Amino acid sequence: MQSFLSQITQIHTVEVNWLDRWQVYQRLQELEIPCWCEANQPLKVEINSPLAAVQFWSVMQQFTATRQDLISVLKRGW
């Protein structure tokens, strides 16, 4: 199983508002999702498991979804 997971590792370039980039980077680091960025360059993220993919999606939703979209997600979850 481990060899299969190592085969699905992908590096993604993420276009995120430069004002939010540091917060996204910090949160991904807290979740132990490998990521890096250089000055004036997009954020790069390594997705190496389904859990990392879901966590990454969740973090990005916090920074890119509208307030109404976030409210809708909360209402559906309750």
DSSP readout, 6-74? HHT-EEEEE---HHHHHHHHHHHHHTT--EE--TTS-EEEEE-SHHHHHHHHHHHHHHHS-HHHHHHHH
Alpha-carbon Rg for the chain in angstroms: 14
Domain boundaries defined on the chain: 2-77
Q: Considering the entire predicted model, what is its pTM?
A: 0.76
- Tens digit of each residue's pLDDT, the chain (78 residues): 444 445 567 888 988 888 899 999 999 999 999 999 888 889 999 999 999 999 999 999 998 899 999 899 889 987
- Domain 2-77 matching CATH 3.30.1370: the answer reads yes
> Cα dihedral sign for 47, 52, 58, 63?
negative
**Cα–Cα distance, 75 to 78 (Å, whole number):** 5
